[in-house]
């Protein structure tokens, strides 16, 4: 579904590459956490998948398409297949919850009866039934993130990318949000979650892809935030 072969990404010639020689494969229907310190390249990885950035070297393949060779006119089709969620929700403040979600489908030119069916169905999926007519400012942070997730998945993308989706949320709400992402994964969506949140990664025991200064330093099928050695050291430090 997503494959990177020896990918290097440099934003400019002077600075160190944001990603360096990264090779990675994420199969259809997988769930992975992308972890690493601030500046390690997590967002850059996401931006390469959505083709907001283009790799300086190497190959990025998404759903069988080599993005280096993707003509400009095919970029919207690529992005239709990818839902994206950010830390800061990015909702349209002057639209209701339902309108925020419907807007995506309107832009895609979907028919009115399809929108009328999909919006409540998706709000139900994310646990926001009954909140369709609220404005974003009337919602809690967790609820706003649910709207953002509804908006990302209402077009039924094959891939869902979440860049630090729990960064603005308390631990309990974070847990609920990642449970929701996991539920969406279980419907067959390929999900990648970039996160700093140790607690979440340790709790879910999923695939963990770790970046360190742009290099892929760990890729475990089932792992925690740190390697066991590092987790032990961190725990000792806390006592």
Ligand X SMILES: Nc1ncnc2c1ncn2[C@@H]1O[C@H](COP(=O)(O)OP(=O)(O)OP(=O)(O)O)[C@@H](O)[C@H]1O
CB of 108 to ligand X, least distance (A): 27
> What whole-number distance in Å separates Cα of residue 222 and Cα of residue 220?
5
- The least CB distance from residue 178 to ligand X, in Å, is 17
* Residue placing its CB nearer to ligand X in the complex, 11 or 68: 11
* Closer residue to ligand X, CB minimum distance, 136 or 226: 226
Residues in touch with ligand X (CB under 6 A): 11, 18, 36, 38-44
Structure tokens at 154: 């209402």
| C-alpha–C-alpha distance, residues 163 and 34, integer Å | 9
**Is the CB of 43 or the CB of 145 nearer to ligand X?**
43
Is 69 buried (19+), middle (13-18) or exposed (0-12) by CB count in 10 A? exposed
Task: Tell me the closest approach of the beta carbon of residue 208 to ligand X, in angstroms.
Answer: 14
In the complex, minimum distance from the CB of residue 88 to ligand X, in angstroms, rounded to a whole number: 12
Residue closer to ligand X (CB basis): 15 or 94: 15
Q: How many residues does the chain have?
A: 239
* Neighbouring residues of 72: CB distance < 8 A, sequence distance ≥ 6: none
- Smallest CA-to-CA distance from 43 within 162, 150, 148 is with 162
How far is the C-alpha of 218 from the C-alpha of 204, rounded, in Å?
17
Distance CA 35, CA 218 (A): 9
Report the nearest approach of ligand X to the CB of residue 34 (Å): 8
Between CA 167 and CA 174 the distance in angstroms is 8
CB contact at 8 A, 157 and 147: no
- Shortest separation between residue 21's beta carbon and ligand X, angstroms: 15
Q: Which is nearer to ligand X, 65 or 215 (CB)?
A: 215
Give the residue with the Cβ less far from ligand X, 44 or 190. 44
């Amino acid at each position: 579904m997503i494959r990177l072969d020896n990918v290097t990404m440099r934003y400019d010639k002077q600075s160190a590459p944001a990603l360096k020689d990264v090779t990675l494969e994420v199969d259809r229907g997988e769930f992975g956490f992308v972890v690493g310190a601030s500046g390690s390249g997590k967002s850059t990885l996401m931006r390469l998948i959505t083709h907001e950035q283009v790799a300086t070297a190497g190959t990025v393949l998404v759903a069988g398409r080599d993005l280096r060779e993707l003509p400009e006119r095919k970029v919207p089709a690529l992005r239709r297949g990818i839902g994206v969620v950010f830390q800061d929700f990015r909702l349209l403040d002057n639209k209701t919850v339902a309108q925020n979600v419907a807007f995506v489908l309107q832009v895609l030119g979907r028919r009115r009866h399809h929108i009328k069916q999909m919006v409540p169905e998706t709000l139900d999926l994310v646990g926001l039934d009954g909140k369709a007519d609220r404005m974003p400012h009337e919602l809690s942070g967790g609820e706003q993130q649910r709207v953002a997730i509804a908006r990302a998945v209402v077009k039924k993308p094959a891939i869902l990318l979440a860049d630090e989706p729990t960064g603005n949320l308390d631990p309990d709400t974070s847990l609920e949000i990642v449970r929701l992402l996991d539920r969406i994964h279980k419907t067959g969506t390929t999900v990648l979650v970039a996160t700093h949140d140790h607690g979440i990664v340790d709790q879910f025991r999923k695939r963990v892809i770790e970046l360190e200064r742009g290099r892929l330093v760990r890729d475990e099928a089932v792992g925690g935030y740190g390697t066991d050695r590092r987790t032990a050291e961190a725990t000792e430090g806390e006592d």
